[in-house]
Amino acid sequence: MTLQRKLKLVGDDSTSAGAAPSIKVAFASADRRRVDQHFGAAEGFVIYRIDPGSYELLEVAQFGRLDMDGNEDKLAAKIEALTGCIAVYCQAVGASAIGQLRAKGIQPMKVAPDTLISGLLRELQRDLREGPSAWLTRAIAAQSPASKSRFDTMEAEGWSE
């Protein structure tokens, strides 16, 4: 299964140092309003950038219709389309897909059928404002490069083994 169409909105992807954390999250959706797809058979994904004060649509990736037949080849293109995302929300996801997603640093999130994407976006914004949950904290930390100065700080504090 290959990617059929991809719409990517062009804009300023840069974030300034010290700015509020922003994350990229995908939603398995055919209508681009609700989470209405199983990950493996998803016809499309909508990808948003979210920060504490706003969210914006970044990309829409569309795939052909595919049955859930156990064919593992269909997953590679879908996972590749989610590069840079910390999570993907879907109705269901198989064990093989979970392993492959997590290996790429993408947390699969199962939600009830027809959950509105707008509601999930607001929940993520609230989590970013009020203090992220454990999985979100780990995802943000994994996406940020480690500070080279942290070892210098430890040395300055007299850290020893």
CA distance 59 to 7: 5
pLDDT at 139: 84
- The torsion angles phi and psi of 130, rounded to 5 degrees, stand at -95, -5
CA dihedral 109, 67, 1, 91 (to 10 degrees): -10
The confidence band for 16, taking pLDDT boundaries of 50, 70 and 90, is very low
Six-digit token string for 71:
């064919």
**Which tens digits make up the pLDDT trace of 21-46?**
789 999 999 999 999 999 999 999 99
Report field, pTM of the whole predicted structure over 0.75: yes
Domains of the chain, by residue range, sit at: 3-10+19-156
Q: ∠47-51-57 over CA atoms, to 5°?
A: 25
- Higher-pLDDT residue of 66 and 47 is 47
Range name among 7-16, 103-112, 115-124, 128-137 with the lowest pLDDT average: 7-16
CATH of 3-10+19-156, one of 3.30.420.130, 3.30.70.141, 3.40.50.1010, 2.60.120.20: 3.30.420.130
Percent of the chain with pLDDT over 90: 58
Q: Annotate 39-96 with DSSP letters as a single string.
A: STT-SEEEEEEEETTEEEEEEEEEE--------THHHHHHHHHTTT-SEEEES---HH
**Which tens digits make up the pLDDT trace of 50-101?**
999 999 999 999 987 655 555 556 799 999 999 999 999 999 999 999 999 9
The confidence band for 142, taking pLDDT boundaries of 50, 70 and 90, is confident
CA distance 97 to 82: 13
CA distance 85 to 83: 6
